[in-house]
Chains A and B, each alone.
Chain A
Amino acid sequence: MLERRGHNGPAFRFSKEMLSVDNLEVFHGPIKAVHGISFKIDAGQCVALLGPNGAGKTSTISAITGIARATGQVLFEGSDISKTPVEARIQRGISVSPEGRRVFANLTVEENLRLGSAASDSNTKTSIAEFFDTFPILGERRHQSAGTLSGGEQQMLAIARALIAKPRILLLDEPSLGLAPKIVGQIFSLIGDLKAKGITILLVEQNAAQALRLSDYVYFLNNGRIAAEGTAESLGKSDTLMAELTGIS
Chain B
Amino acid sequence: MEYLAQQMMNAFAFGAEYALLALGLAIVFSIMGLVNFAHGEMIAVGGYSMVAMAALSLGNPMIVIGFALLAAVVASVTLERVAFRPVRYADPTTGLLTAFGVSIILQNLFLLLVSPRPIAVTSLYFLEWSIPIGMVSISSLQLFEALTTIIVIVALMLFLRQTSLGLAMRAAALDFEMVRLTGIRANRVFAMAFMISGMLAGIACIFIMARRGSVDPHLGFDPVLKAFVACVVGGFGSLPGAVLGGFLLGVVEVAMLVLLPQSLGGMTDAFVFGIIALVLVWRPNGILAARAEKGDKQ
Contacts and interface: CB of A to CB of B under 8 A. Distances in A.
Given A104-B178, A115-B167, A115-B179, A87 B297 contact: no
A151 B178 contact: no
A87 to B, nearest CB: 5
B174 A87 contact: no
Contacts of A11: none
Nearest to A115: B167
A154 B184 CA distance: 21
Contact of A96 (B181, B295, B297): B181
A4 B24 CA distance: 46
Contact of B295 (A103, A114, A116, A178): A103
Interface string A162-181: 00010000000000001000
Interface residues on A, range: 20 to 34
Contacts of B175: 102, 104
Interface string A79-120: 000000011001100001010111111110001001110111
Given A105-B294, A106-B173, A147-B293, A115 B181 contact: no
B177 interface: yes
A67 B164 contact: no
Interface in B267-296: 293-296
Interface string A142-166: 0000110011001000100100010
Contact of B181 (A65, A105, A146): A65
B181 A119 contact: no
Contacts of B171: 104, 106-107, 115
Nearest to B173: A106
B297 A114 contact: no
B296 A119 contact: no
Contacts of A101: 295-296
B296 A154 contact: yes
A90 B185 CA distance: 10
Contact of B178 (A87, A91, A102, A114): A102
Q: Which of A98, A104, A146 has the most B CB atoms < 10 Å from its CB?
A: A104
Interface of B: 161, 164, 167-168, 170-171, 173-175, 177-186, 293-298
